[in-house]
Structure 1
Amino acid sequence: MRKLAVLILFSLVCQARPLLAQDAASLQFTVAAPDPVMAGEEVTLQTLAVNSGASVWERGSYYWIGEVYAIEGEGRRFLTQTASVSPAEDVAPGAAQGVQLLFRVPDNLAGRRLLYRVFLIKDGRRILETDFKGFQVIEKELRYTIPEDFKIGGDVSFTYKNNSRDGWDHHQGITSANLVGKIRQSSFLFNTYVVHTYHRPITPTIVLLNYYAPWGTLSIGDISPTLTPLSMDGQGMRGVSFERARGRYSLLALVGRIVAPEEPGPNSGGRFARYTSGLKAGWQFRPNLKVSVDAVMSRDDMHSINITTAALTIKPQQTVVYGLNAEWKFLKAFSLNSDYQMSAYKADMEASGAAVGGSAWKQELKYRADLFTARGALSRIDPKFYSFGSPSVIPDRQVVDAELGLFPADWTTFTVAYNAYTDNLDADPAKTTTDQAQTTLGNMLRILGKTVVNTSIMTNTAKAQTEGVQDNQTTTLNLSVTQPLGRHTLSAGLQQSSFKDNLGLSHDLDSSLLSLNGSFKINRRLSLSTGLVSSATKDKVDSSTGKNNSLTGSLSYAIPRRGMAVQCWATLASAENDSPLSPSDNSSVTLNVETVWLKSQNSRFTFGVGGVSRTDNLNPAADETVLNVMTRYNYSF
């Protein structure tokens, strides 16, 4: 198992508590490194969070996973999920937990900016969800410009890779394609990135087919559909969806897998594959009023993993969610969304007995004007309501959510956001009632039409109503600056986070994050880019510190007359931690060189060599140097 770049900095002895509280996590930082990253290379999504609840995260009961999105216009398109990571440690209340999620950027996403977000799943519930963060993907190949008015065409590439580990026995093939086309009155868009190895001949990392026809829109592959906020929202999956709107009628149907299976292991209790299916039918009663009914069923596949011991406690679960949703627009600038859902939940599909019923509702009011926008929402989630299709909907919570955006001038904006919840709605004496609130203030300032400065401050407080059980606060400050300089661009970001336990039950924690990057177009042949990501975390009680640094640089030189280009990029990374529980001191150096030959306007060849050297100062036996080779053929039509 790969070592985490951000390690646990401190841990406390678990103390017995007479009352139970819901799990909670407080984000300290999340960052992608290296940034920028070369297309075809791995980017690390580093995240650090504190257990701000009052119960231990036991090993095997929680895991991390990320989602990656592409920017399309003003929206986001779901690409794929990362592989999940199940850490090998218990995390006591107040302790920090770091994770490193790896994502290999497909070659066909070169030159784009991607977004990601990271989730922490505990006992099947999403207890932490980061905001969308971005990283830049560097173009790896010299390309001819494809005319914008083409109707049918695409780009297909075939890649072969190998490295020196285990005697050059790591053969890997990659097939990627971006295709667009038109069939009579219909059009389609197809993207895929498939990895081929000896043991797994076909592993589709990314696959998506969108078919737009007069009779509806069909999507196959990696999708993230939305039915209603409470029944299905924000859940990536691999499946099929069909959407149709005709006159006053609208229909959305879907089926897919939302959780991949994982066999039980030393650090994981295992996970069943989880599948979901949903249906939403709507009717436009008036131009400003639409009412819809929906139903979603999610269930585990109990045969998707092998259970060889009775010691494992996971059980196959099932939930059915169904209800009504209404969207009403009034007074031109106002809109009201009302969502009411009911659920039937079975904690063990093999057990006898009826499903447990629950309900939830959400009212959301929006206002949009030229100078400001506002949104307010109130929701109540019954303790017995379960919706696997909306992992952010956590049972036993009443939530208040509000946002305000002010636009006094085109060179500045102000944002205010507030989110708060109270749990233990049934006043169960065996549980601790917790109040948690998050407040965010932000400002965007554009100076002289070019320099963009973003600042924000966020506070997150969690306090138990029972005296002496839980009372902590996290404060985060952000500052970022982007400065265009002709054909060049410079940007810098700084973040400071502080976790404080007002009861002294946990160690206080300070963390900082610095990011610098720049892209430079020296002339029409030569371009450069560089990036630095540095994070540090300090335990204010035992003075232990953890540091992570990543420095990347790239150079591209084109020889247009010969249809050639040479590219070189390197990354230096290091991680140090003097924690008495989990010390670490390791570093790595990566260097790659590629040559691109444009055989014609439609085809090109790429040849590359490189290597990575890893050093572990605390465990020299883990030192290694790996060489790699790569060749790729690409055809555009």
Structure 2
Amino acid sequence: MKMLRNSSIILLVFVVCVKHLFAAPSGNIQLLLAAPDPATAGDKILFQIIALNTGAEIWKNSQYFFEVEIYDANKNYIIKTDKITGKSDIVSSETTLIYIPFNIPTSFDGDYFYKASITVNNQKVFLSEFQNFTVVPLSKATIISKPSKVSLGGNTILSYKQSIKTYEIYESSQDYTGSFNINLVGKTYDAPVSLNLYALYNKEDNFDLDNFLFNFYGKTAQIAFGDIQPSYNSLVLYGAGVRGLNISAIKERFGASVVGAESSKKVEGTETINGTFERYLYGGEIKQGLDILNAYFAVTYIQSIDDKGSINVKGPSLLPIKNNVIGGTGYFELTDYVGIKGEYAQSDYWEDISSGSVKDNGLKATLSLTNISNTSFIGSYSRIEPDFRSLGAPSSTNDKEMYEVSTSYSIPDWVGISAYYNISHDNLVEDSNKTTTNQNLISSSLSIQRPTIPMLTFGYSINSAIGDPDTSLNNQTVTPSASISQSIGQTTLSISYQNSKFTDKTKISEDLKTDSGNLNISTRLGKNISISAGSTLSKVYNLISSTVTNSNSYSMNVNFANIIENKLSSAIWGSYTKSHDYPLQSTDNENITGTAEISYNIKDNLSATIGFTHTEYINDMNATDTYKDESGNIRLSMSF
């Protein structure tokens, strides 16, 4: 036991004190914004991403994509957007601008978080930190749930929208969208259960079960069915949103869990673009706890395999792949305040199911502080070998050695401070034909919150990527930020600002400076009128070509409750977005959307809504994209 404690102390000193390390993801996100913010449930929000290739390899056309994961206010995963595939090659130190649209489910209400990721050659190379946006609920009359004898309650929304789109050049077109949303919570046999389901029906997709999740929380067993995100060994299955079934059972200190899911939807290819096979994931984990040191050991196994018969047109070079990963996890608490976790995994990867596999391994050691109020510390070391592949753990980037430290401290109702340090490098076998990429990321934040003064938040980060040799890669991004929020009576005002400056010392890519800001205000006029408004402004300066790209978005929402007491309510909201660069080169467009709705409370638990939306998109660079869209919708909302 004494030797174990001494070894753990050595690991702690090693993780925290090491200073000269190497780092290198091959991609980074310079700017990430959601607009409009606040957005309205049932409407569309647009995620704007400026991504930078920080590695030495080219991102090939159609071989990389972006997507955004959506989380609730407690940072529980809910859903993710469609993948947006890159349409052009991105060389080292070059940036690309991506817009990802997302249709907000009609049940959304309040604060949400999101993360954006970059995936290159089926490997997730970057995942952003959490950012937040706000959703204003759809207008509806006050609904009072009636007491029920069964331990089940919730709400359901059924909606239909008919639209006509008129292009400036082409003929007009008609479309329709139906949606069904249900949210249930309750108990069965004294066990909590929940169900969330959102389905769409339209011309293009017919029926699309966009998102659903059923949870059963028994005393010894838990069941999750639908859009799940199981968490096992972080090198084997972690952070992958999949659709399927996860069953876990616990008996005293022994636990077992199995999972079977679809991890990738099929996409038909073309003669020039690869499609995507339907991919399935199977496996499980067995865990045994010990009576000493709050310790446990676990063994995990996951297989991912493509269904090569799932699509008719594969594309020019698509091959079905297979991936087996087995791993082990050990955890113990050195003292009441220090926990240590070790993870190891070995993978078999078939680039083509009919060919041979390559084997490799990865490991990760994590030290954390536990049971200390208002304080957190996590330090980790990981080394993922070049041929290691784990499709169930997209954040376990292969050919990478990394040290990471994250810590925070807070004094309740006064101040909070946090810091993050990440340094890593690739090319672990020191291949002279490759450029070794070293990356160093340091970030910190300070938050001041007192009941009598505005809440202030300050942030600062430095992200550098240096190649070996540095003539091929040498850039740095510096990003300071600040925000202030204050509530006075029924009015809340928040303002945030971020500046990001990218400098490429090799001059391969042009230097950029990005300014972005956000203003939000919400208030009430009397008991029955609530107003919220926001603006998101961003400006990207190309310091070499002197080109400036602006993207500005404004939104407003006004709700009128109790026009007729407990019967009639109404809402009006709209947004305006303008994007352009000057001297005029490639971008000049604007989007205007306005909606008005009236809701009538038929019964205490049933309301009906009718509405009209006008959208106008103007592209002065390409008139073929210019259109007007007018739509009418009807919606039934019921609680029970």
If the length of structure 2 is used for normalisation, what is the TM-score? 0.91
Q: 1:42 to 1:537 in 2, by over 3 A?
A: same
Q: Please name the residue that 1:485 is paired with.
A: 488
Task: Indicate which of 621, 624, 631 corresponds to 2:627.
Answer: 624
Cα RMSD, aligned residues only:
2.0
How far apart, in 2, do the equivalents of 1:197 and 1:560 lie?
35
Kindly tell me the number of residue pairs found equivalent between the two proteins.
608
Counterpart check, 1:424 vs 2:427? yes
Q: 1:445 to 1:147 in 2, by over 3 A?
A: farther
How far apart, in 1, do the equivalents of 2:329 and 2:276 lie?
32
How far apart, in 1, do the equivalents of 2:25 and 2:407 lie?
29
Residue 127 of structure 1: CA displacement? 1.4
Q: Please name the residue that 1:154 is paired with.
A: 154
After superposition, the C-alpha distances for 1:475-504 in whole angstroms (9 at most, x for unaligned) are 111111111111111111101001111122
Q: What code does the residue aligned with 1:159 have?
A: S
Q: What code does the residue aligned with 2:303 have?
A: M
How far apart, in 2, do the equivalents of 1:491 and 1:29 lie?
20
How far apart, in 2, do the equivalents of 1:214 and 1:469 lie?
57
Conserved in 2, the CA contact under 8 Å of 1:82 and 1:101? yes
Q: Please name the residue that 2:135 is paired with.
A: 137
Between 171-180 and 198-207, the greater mean CA deviation after superposition: 198-207
Counterpart check, 1:589 vs 2:592? yes
Q: Please name the residue that 1:566 is paired with.
A: 570
Residue 277 of structure 1: CA displacement? 1.5
Conserved in 2, the CA contact under 8 Å of 1:28 and 1:476? no
Q: Please name the residue that 1:116 is paired with.
A: 114
DSSP-derived class of the 1:292 partner: strand
Residue 181 of structure 1: CA displacement? 2.8
Conserved in 2, the CA contact under 8 Å of 1:319 and 1:346? yes
How far apart, in 2, do the equivalents of 1:119 and 1:365 lie?
26
Counterpart check, 1:60 vs 2:62? yes
Task: Indicate which of 124, 127, 133 corresponds to 1:126.
Answer: 124
Q: What code does the residue aligned with 1:50 have?
A: L
Aligned-residue identity in percent: 24
Matches within 5 A, 1:447-486: 447-449=450-452, 451-486=454-489
Q: What code does the residue aligned with 1:356 have?
A: V
If the length of structure 1 is used for normalisation, what is the TM-score? 0.92
Q: 1:449 to 1:256 in 2, by over 3 A?
A: farther
Residue 284 of structure 1: CA displacement? 0.8
Matches within 5 A, 1:202-601: 202-265=207-270, 268-286=273-291, 288-307=294-313, 312-351=316-355, 353=356, 355-368=357-370, 369-370=372-373, 372-407=375-410, 410-449=413-452, 451-558=454-561, 559-561=563-565, 563-578=567-582, 583-601=586-604
DSSP-derived class of the 2:376 partner: strand
After superposition, the C-alpha distances for 1:360-399 in whole angstroms (9 at most, x for unaligned) are 1111000142363321101111111111111111111111
Q: Please name the residue that 1:46 is paired with.
A: 48
Residue 276 of structure 1: CA displacement? 1.2
Q: What code does the residue aligned with 2:574 have?
A: A
DSSP-derived class of the 1:76 partner: coil
Residue 205 of structure 1: CA displacement? 1.1
Residue 577 of structure 1: CA displacement? 2.7
Conserved in 2, the CA contact under 8 Å of 1:88 and 1:267? no
How far apart, in 2, do the equivalents of 1:148 and 1:370 lie?
40
Q: Please name the residue that 1:12 is paired with.
A: none
DSSP-derived class of the 2:624 partner: helix
Q: Please name the residue that 1:93 is paired with.
A: 92
Q: 1:396 to 1:561 in 2, by over 3 A?
A: same
Residue 418 of structure 1: CA displacement? 0.4
Conserved in 2, the CA contact under 8 Å of 1:472 and 1:502? yes
Q: 1:48 to 1:579 in 2, by over 3 A?
A: farther
After superposition, the C-alpha distances for 1:56-99 in whole angstroms (9 at most, x for unaligned) are 2121111111111112xxx3221112111113222122221111
Which portions of structure 1, spanning 4 or more consecutive aligned residues, are displaced by more than 6 angstroms?
147-150
Conserved in 2, the CA contact under 8 Å of 1:32 and 1:43? yes
Residue 593 of structure 1: CA displacement? 0.3
Q: Please name the residue that 1:36 is paired with.
A: 38
Conserved in 2, the CA contact under 8 Å of 1:450 and 1:484? no
How far apart, in 2, do the equivalents of 1:209 and 1:450 lie?
43
DSSP-derived class of the 1:621 partner: helix
Q: What code does the residue aligned with 1:324 have?
A: G
After superposition, the C-alpha distances for 1:230-263 in whole angstroms (9 at most, x for unaligned) are 1111111111111111111111111112222222
How far apart, in 1, do the equivalents of 2:173 and 2:89 lie?
38
Structure 2 residues without counterparts, runs of 5 or longer: 1-22, 166-170
DSSP-derived class of the 1:428 partner: coil
Conserved in 1, the CA contact under 8 Å of 2:448 and 2:455? yes
Between 199-208 and 458-467, the greater mean CA deviation after superposition: 199-208
DSSP-derived class of the 2:206 partner: coil
How far apart, in 2, do the equivalents of 1:265 and 1:535 lie?
37
Q: What code does the residue aligned with 2:187 have?
A: K
Between 197-206 and 529-538, the greater mean CA deviation after superposition: 197-206
Residue 560 of structure 1: CA displacement? 4.7
- The structure with higher relative contact order (CA 8 Å, sep 6+) is 2
Q: 1:167 to 1:545 in 2, by over 3 A?
A: closer
Q: Please name the residue that 1:175 is paired with.
A: 180
